[in-house]
A and B are shown apart, each in its own frame.
Chain A
């Protein structure tokens, strides 16, 4: 299964970005292969609709779960229709590595 984690930077030491649609980076982690990919978020400074555009981006990578601090109101129904699970993780000090370690166990 692929999981998207919002990240403040493009290293495993980066923290979990607390905003979903306007996060700095997305980390796409594949729980089966252990593959890790960093994607810069092109919607970071979008004037409007950053949330839906970001869902579109990660959904095109076929993720089934998104981990972030906060999700905007527009995206809940979109994630439901795509059967993507939304995981609220309000831990701004936690690193991407620690989240991946949790997903491994």
Chain B
């Protein structure tokens, strides 16, 4: 089963939850993989001792226009949904703006004059690692200057396979990268904080997931700060509350130093164990032992 750990708002504790969930599941010998889908700022690797097994480049095909074969019909530019083909026929200028290209291939299809060929452009990498306990950890990483991590996330999730439990650490927000990640998930956990900002973004995530016919469950992080807004919302919408994690400077300290609290604070280790059981039992598959 695939569990996505997501949130609308950034900084609510997705990576904190995903890495510690992975940690407790691997401690007890479950078949578990952690996949860092936050390709614009991946950091799950910081919390584990890992060795790299493989690095795969993710590319997409961008058009190359042969001006000698071009008949200046403009079809490629009209077909492009992303304004990536800059076309001014009266000045005899036609140019591909690679940073806007989504690699969809519509322009090549539209061209009737064989003036368009394609070349691969590297968008980022999928790095497959093993932790010191030999558990798979996969990282999606977008190349600096590239705009969309969607293809890299897709490749990273594919690389994760379907074996046992796969934890997907989702990117923040509710746009394409988030959707690409949760789309492949059997279960979505939203991490939020009890503030008006947390609530506003939680609501957006829930609404987006509703459109995708997915029913998320929620973890409230730093649950003893802020207000009652999130709790009231969950009650009203009948969204299950999986866990509440209290604010503790020891958590912040450990996290900022790249350590896992489930290795250090027994109460949190049991909280995450219970959380894992709730998710896995709730989903009804049970965890597959290695």
Contact = CB atoms under 8 A, between A and B. Distances in A.
Contacts of B93: 59, 78, 81-82
Interface stretch (A6-14, A25-33, A48-56, A89-97): A48-56
Interface residues on B, range: 10 to 19
A79 to B, nearest CB: 11
Interface string A41-81: 00100111110110110011010000000000010001001
Contacts of A50: 83
Contact of B84 (A43, A49, A60, A82): A49
Interface SS, B side: mixed
Contact of B83 (A48, A62, A81): A48
B109 interface: no
A42 to B, nearest CB: 11
B88 A49 contact: no
A46 B83 CA distance: 9
B90 interface: yes
B82 A48 contact: yes
Nearest to B88: A59
A49 B95 contact: no
Interface of B: 77, 82-84, 86-91, 93, 95, 97, 99-100, 147
Interface of A: 43, 46-50, 52-53, 55-56, 59-60, 62, 74, 78, 81-82
The 3 closest A-B pairs by CB, nearest first: A49-B83, A53-B83, A59-B88
Given A43-B83, A59-B88, 16 more contacts: A48-B100, A49-B82, A49-B83, A49-B84, A49-B97, A53-B83, A56-B86, A59-B93, A60-B89, A60-B90, A62-B90, A74-B97, A74-B99, A78-B95, A81-B95, A82-B88
